[in-house]
Structure formats: structure tokens, C-alpha cells
Structure 1
């Protein structure tokens, strides 16, 4: 595929995100068509940040003018039919301060459509503006029963489901399509077990239940997943407001500051404007240029804070939270939230391990990562440094120190999955059938990259964790010295000039894995103290730059390796097979840039070169896939088409860290 062809697809299918801070969100495409099962206007977390359900998938919208009727929405149906094609009238799109579409109809009528999610109340607010409305004749009274008689009318049909956000919805007799008008709002409850949907607006509502069948989701089709859905529409709003603005506010019943009664009392337009003012102020007050995007990932859990790994399908993962928080929270000065996050996770240490994720069903903790706990220790160290520099008093430094000690003690004694400190001072990990590092893809019961033994980045994390704990306890210094000596003796790979990826591979003493992977970069950059320096560090950076560097991040495997997969695409098995076998990971650009500066020096010339070579492509990417965000992965081969989650926490976090380190005059 040509670069121009890829760019055209990105422009049409680029995605926007509006998160509610509780695990719910609204998302969609610039072109208006829903291409994923996750694209929705009201997607709520019933057990924040989990229990996500899709309530309002989208809208069917059309405009009546004196010259005819024209669609503003775009729908995609089987087998590959676009109808209607509202995007044909799309004249412009802006993502700041929130998504806005400008339409120009064939008769010259100009209509603006905007959408935002109010973070304080989890309401989705939609507003349409049209100058022609103020010229239309009008009769009737305020409220839902008013009837416009002017020639310009906007018609809006909500499209509902009521399903788990990973599932799909089909027409069925259980789905209730009735409408209830309550306190000036319309209420729908398709399924009794799920929250009702409350809609408030300044238009007239008419119950007209119908089913829309066979929507096609192209992105799901490309991922080899079920891709067809039916949606229910209980009725239609008609707007012809004299103030030139049509308003529709959507919320899941039971949400904080429920929209319904408030909107009815204030008037929907006034309610929407008040929410808009609050959101503008919040977004304008972000301390960092990426502050609004960064805040999307930070949510509450159990009275504390945590970080969602990515949108639209990830929840909070331990490893991702600790990597991402350094950019999303520490680099943006959000120390209170970082404090709350670390204190929350500190209480989850069990047997020296932290959970790496929570199951969707019941939020059960899963302890299946060797690196998540060590990344927590690194995050604690970075937080304490940032807090000291900012004069922030940690809410409970003793709790954080105790959690760090418990983790290191657990690794020293030995814990789950064969994780433990070996006689040489290095950490061994893994049992047959397990995949404990961040390279954790599996096909069925088979790990793709098990990396059993002593993986290189685990040793770098272990040594850094020992160094951090050594600040308050001298007992860790001898363990750190032993681990450093063993690393220096065992990991240099004379054949590549870099480092082995795993030593004592498969727990076979002396066996090594010499695959050229990006994990070795963490021995030079990305962590508080480098594990290797001098010529060996320069060799590692040179090898990674030569074999793995792309404009969007580092490949997970060198292209000359027989196992290399150039593209991340296809069904789940094909994607999992490529996930860590050549696929590019943007988050690794942070450790690489830090390592590159450490071996080159961080003078003005080096920083200018790094900004042009490494930072500029990532910044350009902000305007392509997930708008304002950085994707999870990209193809290993040019043109490095983005894939995976279009909104990934640690990818954005590391971009923020790169910008910060390149703006600083001091050596990193």
C-alpha cells in the first residue's frame, strides 16, 4: 500500500476519544461511521473502572431544509454499503477543545455539530448550530411538546443496544423499546439488568420504535472478529430551536449529578452551556500540552487512582500503570494523583507480587507478571524524587517503602511462577506454559515468546529496584552488587555487540537467547540508573538503532530474524503471532531516546538532533490514528501502519517524557 493510500485511510478512519474519568467514554471516527464495536456515544462503567456497557451506540441524523432532506450521519451496513453518507457534506473537523464537525449542505445551509463528555457528571453532550433556525417561524411552548413550523428541522434517532462493550447486539424480543417521559426527560431501559438511559433535549420527542439491522464494523472485520450488529431506535427527536442551537444530553441513570432532572429544571441548552464552560476551563487549565489526553487514562478505583492501559478495550494493568504514570502524572506535575495511585497499588502486594490486571468478570486480580512489581518500585523511586523536588509531602511514604520491601523480600525468597533470586544474584522467572514479561502474547495455551530464564530487562529492573530500596535500607547493597557483577559477566553478547535477550534460557545453565530485541535498551535508558555504560552501552544503542528503530518506536524483533513478522494484522492468532515478533512499540521510544542521550551527551546539538529524528514523527502521529494520542503498536515494515489500541497510556506517557527530557538542559 502506498504512503498516500495509508494517509487517506487514516484521514477517514482517524478516531476521537472523550473519556469520563470513571472508565466510560465516547468514541468514533472523523468520517462519522462506526468502525468498531467500541464506538459509542454513551459507554458507561457500571463498576468503575470496570463493568463497561454500551448503552447508546450512535445516532441517525438528518436535516430538513426548504430544498430537501440531507443526512448528517454516516452508517455502514452489510455487505459494504454506506447509507446514508453524511460525510459527503463534511466540510471540516476540529478536535480541540472537543470534536466538532462542520457540514455544508448542497443548498448552502451550514451546520455545526459538536460533542463532549462532561468529566464531572459523565454526561455526553451533543449540540448542533444552524443560523437558519433563528429565521424559522415557531409556535408552541417550551419543553418536549413544542412543534416547529419553520422549514429547517433537524431529526435525530438514537441507536441503542445495552451490552457488554466486548460483545455485539442482535435483534431480540427481550429488548424493550418503550419510551417514558419523566421530569421533562425521555428515559429508555432496553434491558432491566442495565442502567436506564436518560436523554434531555430542547426538541420534540416522538416514540417510533424500529430496529436498524446489519451494521458492519470494518475494524472488527479486519481483526477477524464478529463484525455485524443490530441496534434499536425507540423514537425520534425533532429540533427547530429559535436560539439557533439544538441540544441533546445523554447519561446512564444513577450517574453522579444525574442529567435528567437538572436539565429539565435549567433547560437543556442552559445545562449544556454550563457543562461546556466547565469543560473548557478544565481543558484550558491543563499544565501540559498533552494534559487533556493524559487525563483520559486516569480513573478511580476503590477510593484511589489507577491508569487505564488503553482505549477502547484495555482496563488498568499494573505494568502499564507504573510505566505510564511517569509521563502522564509525574512529568505533568500531577503528584497528588500519582500519590493516590501508588498508595492504592501498594495495598495489593501479595507474596512479593502485584497484580498485572483484573478480570472483566468480578475484577479478580491476576498475578501473572514478573516485571509489574519491579516497575512499581521504579515508579515509587521516581515519585519520591519528583515529590522532593516539588515540595510535595507523600501521603504515606512508609506504606510505599513497606510495599517495596515486601516485593524485594518476595523475589529474594521466591514466589509464584518460578520467580526468585538465583545464586548469582539475578532473577529467574517462568515455568512451562507461562509468559511473564511484557512480551506476553499467547495463541491458545501456547506462549509466543515465553522468555523463560533470566530476561535482560528483568535484571535491569531488579538492579534498579535494589538501588532504589538502598536509599533507606543498607541491606540491599550487597544484593545489588552481586546482581551487577553477574549481569556484567553474563549478558554481553560478543556476536552482536549488544546484550543477550535471555540467559539461562529455559532454566538451562549457560544457555543464551541472542535474538535482537529491544529489551536490552532498558539496561542503558528508561530507568533511573544505567546497568551498563561506556563502550558496551554505545554498542547496545548502536545495535538497537541499526536493527530496531523506526519513526514510531522500536521493533520487537530484528527484521533479519527468521521469526520476524512484518505486519500486525489478521485474525487474533495472526496478530498474537506478530505482537512481539517485529511489531513496533512506540512506548519503547522513551527508553531509547534516554539511552541515546546518555551515550551521546545531552548537549544542545544532541537534543536538537533527537527532536528532529525521534520526536517529530511521534508528534506528527498525534494527528493520524487516535487523535491527540499515540497508538499501541505499528507494523514493523514501512509505512509502519498503526495498529492495536489507538489510544495507549504508556505510548503517550513516554512521548511526554521524551518531550520533557529534550527540553531540559541537564544530562538525563
Structure 2
């Protein structure tokens, strides 16, 4: 069965508060509600939380956070949550212990590493009802004790609630509690608490000029002993019919994963006509460009490393040739495309089967993307290699890492040889003379005949990547 593409961020993103909190995830319940947060675990908006319930009077936020606390065999307790407070303090700083965040089949997954102990959290919504499932799993190490601080509210998602008013009512129920007579939580070893956590700060609301602060009610704490790898602690929260419990959390997650895979499978091309649309000559090349620009802006070399094998595979398939005549011409390295009766670019619009602007052959806009894609993949490979060398040096000692090369070994002319880092020698045949952000022809040292540099009379040369 088809799968949802995996999206992952390593500690380079998750461990940096600004980076991790800028990447948001959302899981819907199919009836207007959702769970939402950030990759790093910091809640930055008033509507970030584990269970947002849709109703006749709008959406309301219930449980806001479930903060894990690990107690190691040595007796040391480590908090894995992350909060920002009104005075600017970040405490606890669990994001610094994140080994990674990923979306697997559309569902968020976090992994924290503390020494040899790795704990994983997965989350999903039950489809068709306001219910969230959260599973914590010990992957390595142990035994450990796991506590989960439950921070709650009950308010409009665009409002706030404070300690100046009455706290939400919390009444005990089998396996957990009922909050504000609006939603119920169930999990292992629940113990009531009852105190305000004051001055929670939402940086995204502050940036919008809105009130960025509120107080959350500490309703209680769940407890579980994870004695060996594979042991789990499952928590569910639901609204609406409080007496009708949803399935166990692990079953909800498995059902959500299966449903997401089925949706992806249903979206696959059903016939050759749909396959033609899906295999546009320029679509994959735009993806190469998007990845290159993303990494250039964010410096997310973890993402570059994870995508690089797929990006190389894209180029290899274009060199070998794909369907509908899409492939590189061995004679000049340019990309050609076209098949009788097929429209492979947006400019190939047809009236009565006749293309208005025929693009079969080697259209310039396709080859601008192709050469740009080659340069982007080469640059990403270089960045990944340099990043790995820097990390290796940091592991060897705690001194400052050696400076990266000031410039990658880009060719000095279109004909110059360019060894592909750890790649097939067939790449040497695919180097057309122009590039995109790494071209097309751009002015070098003020001498160029291109229209934008018309006053300069001398020769031009390909520009090096930024």
C-alpha cells in the first residue's frame, strides 16, 4: 500500500528553539477539531494543544500539554517538556534532548534521548469524534519511571484564561479525570494535583500584537513504569459523550496510520491520462529547486542528508530516461521531452488536440530547471559532506570545529570537469552550459553581454551558486 512521505527533523532543528518552534504540525479529527503544536514541543499560539473540540459555539481548547518527566535508574529526574514564560525564561528545556521529530504516515512522532535511554511519543486523533491518543514507548535503556504532568484549560481557542478567575473543575473518573464537565482524560496511575501554572507565554501571539500570556491548570499527573524496551504508557482524552470511551490509544494510532495510507493510495493515478498529468516534465525539477532553496534559507542539512538519496535517484532517472520521452540527451546533456498526443508542460495547452505552444524537444524553460536542479543537488551533497565532517570533528574534541571551505569546488567554465561527490561517473555527461539560481548566464566582474548587463562589452561566464 502507498505510504505518506516521511518528513523528519533532527536535533539541528529541534534543539534550536527558534527553528523547532517555527515548524508546526496539525492532526484533524474529521469533525472540525484537531491537535496542533510545534516540532520542538513549544506551544507558541493560544490554539496549540492536544485536543481542540469543535462545537456549536466555536472551537474550545481542552488539554493543552502533557509534559513527560523521566526518572532514571540513578534516581535523577529529567523533564522533557518545553515552556516559555512571561519573564522570557525557557524552562524546562526538553527540546535540547530531542533526538528528532518526524511525521510518519502523517502522524507526529518525537524521540528524546537521555544517555542510553530513548523515549518515543506518538499522537493521533480518532477519526469522526473529538478524541486524541498519545502513546509513550521506551525504545532503549531502562527501566525508567515516566510521569506526565497534565496542563488543562477550557476556553475559546482565540481567548485566554487566567488565575484571576475560577479554575476548571476536576472530578475523578475511572482511570483519570473529567475537566470542566467538558472532556475526560484516561491513563495509567492518575493522581490529582490542583494548582495554577502562571505566566505561560505565546511568542507567535506576541508577534501578532495579541495578548501573549495566560495561566494553565495543573489537573494532575499520570505515572507508569517502563521496565524494558517496548513498554508503553498510553493516554487518551475525549469530549462529547464522556461515558463512551474511545479505543485504546495504540489502536487509534494504528487506525489513523492505515486510514492515511489508504487516502494516499486512492490518490494515485487511475489511468494513463491521470498519469500523464502526474508526470509533468517540470514538476520534479521544481521540487529539486524547492529543496535547494529551503536548505539555503534554513541551513537544514539534516533534511538535505535525508533527501539526498532520493534527489540523486531523480537525476539518475532523468539521465537514463523516463516515460513520455523525458530524458537527457547524451550528446549535449540537455533535457528533452515529448510524446505524440501528450502535454507535459503547462505551456503545452491544447485546443482540439493541437498544442498552442508546442514544447516537445528541448524547451529553454525546462532546461533552465534541469541545470539548476543538477547544481542544487551537487551543492546539497557538498553541504552534507562538510556538515558531516564538522560534526565528526566536534565528536572528537570540544574545541571549535574547523572552518568549512569558503567556497565549494564549482567549475570555472562550462567545459570544466566537475567530479560528483560519491556519485556515478555518468554525471559528468550532464552539464549543460547554463544554470538557474546557479544561472542562467549572469554578470561576472561587470563584464557580460546579457540584456541586464548590456553596457559591458566583454565575455560572460556561468555564475557560481550562492
TM-score (norm 1): 0.38
Question: What CA RMSD, in Å, does the superposition of the two structures yield over aligned residues?
Answer: 3.6
User: Is this contact kept in 2: 1:132–1:244, CA < 8 A?
Assistant: no
Aligned equivalents of 1:121 and 1:610: distance in 2?
Answer: 49
Matches within 5 A, 1:196-215: 196-201=182-187, 203-215=188-200
1:273 deviates by 2.5
Q: Deviations over 1:143-173 (max 9, x none)?
A: xxxxxxxxx2111111111111111221244
Aligned equivalents of 1:23 and 1:250: distance in 2?
Answer: 16
User: Is this contact kept in 2: 1:551–1:614, CA < 8 A?
Assistant: no
Number of aligned residues: 283
User: Is this contact kept in 1: 2:130–2:240, CA < 8 A?
Assistant: no
Counterpart position of 1:311: none
Unaligned 5+ segments in structure 1 are 137-151, 264-270, 292-330, 334-385, 391-549, 553-592, 617-668
Aligned equivalents of 1:612 and 1:286: distance in 2?
Answer: 31
Q: For residues 41 and 238 of structure 1, do their structure 2 counterparts lie closer, same or farther at Cα, with a shift above 3 Å needed?
A: same
Aligned equivalents of 1:179 and 1:63: distance in 2?
Answer: 26
1:600 deviates by 5.0
Out of 172, 180, 193, the position equivalent to 2:172 is: 180
Counterpart position of 2:255: 278
Aligned equivalents of 1:602 and 1:20: distance in 2?
Answer: 44
Out of 159, 163, 167, the position equivalent to 2:159 is: 167
Which has the larger helix fraction? Answer: 1
Q: For residues 46 and 596 of structure 1, do their structure 2 counterparts lie closer, same or farther at Cα, with a shift above 3 Å needed?
A: same
SS in 1 for 2:264: coil
User: Is this contact kept in 2: 1:28–1:34, CA < 8 A?
Assistant: yes
Unaligned 5+ segments in structure 2 are 1-11, 275-288, 292-343, 350-355, 375-466
Out of 102, 122, 125, the position equivalent to 1:94 is: 102
Matches within 5 A, 1:38-437: 38-47=47-56, 51-67=58-74, 68-97=76-105, 98-105=107-114, 107-131=115-139, 136=143, 152-181=144-173, 184-190=174-180, 196-201=182-187, 203-241=188-226, 244-254=231-241, 260=245, 262-263=246-247, 271-287=248-264
Q: Deviations over 1:1-45 (max 9, x none)?
A: xxx99x974444201110111111111111100011111100010
TM-score (norm 2): 0.54
SS in 1 for 2:210: coil
Aligned equivalents of 1:614 and 1:287: distance in 2?
Answer: 30
Matched, 1:30 2:39: yes
User: Is this contact kept in 2: 1:123–1:259, CA < 8 A?
Assistant: no
Counterpart position of 1:13: 22
Q: For residues 228 and 604 of structure 1, do their structure 2 counterparts lie closer, same or farther at Cα, with a shift above 3 Å needed?
A: farther
1:85 deviates by 0.5
Q: Deviations over 1:484-533 (max 9, x none)?
A: xxxxxxxxxxxxxxxxxxxxxxxxxxxxxxxxxxxxxxxxxxxxxxxxxx
User: Is this contact kept in 1: 2:154–2:168, CA < 8 A?
Assistant: no
Aligned equivalents of 1:103 and 1:110: distance in 2?
Answer: 6
Which has the larger strand fraction? Answer: 2
Q: For residues 281 and 218 of structure 1, do their structure 2 counterparts lie closer, same or farther at Cα, with a shift above 3 Å needed?
A: same
User: Is this contact kept in 1: 2:31–2:128, CA < 8 A?
Assistant: no
1:595 deviates by 6.2
Q: For residues 53 and 613 of structure 1, do their structure 2 counterparts lie closer, same or farther at Cα, with a shift above 3 Å needed?
A: farther
Q: Deviations over 1:259-317 (max 9, x none)?
A: 63x55xxxxxxx2222222212111112369x6xxxxxxxxxxxxxxxxxxxxxxxxxx
1:612 deviates by 5.8
Aligned equivalents of 1:76 and 1:34: distance in 2?
Answer: 8
User: Is this contact kept in 2: 1:206–1:235, CA < 8 A?
Assistant: yes
Aligned equivalents of 2:362 and 2:130: distance in 1?
Answer: 46
1:53 deviates by 0.7
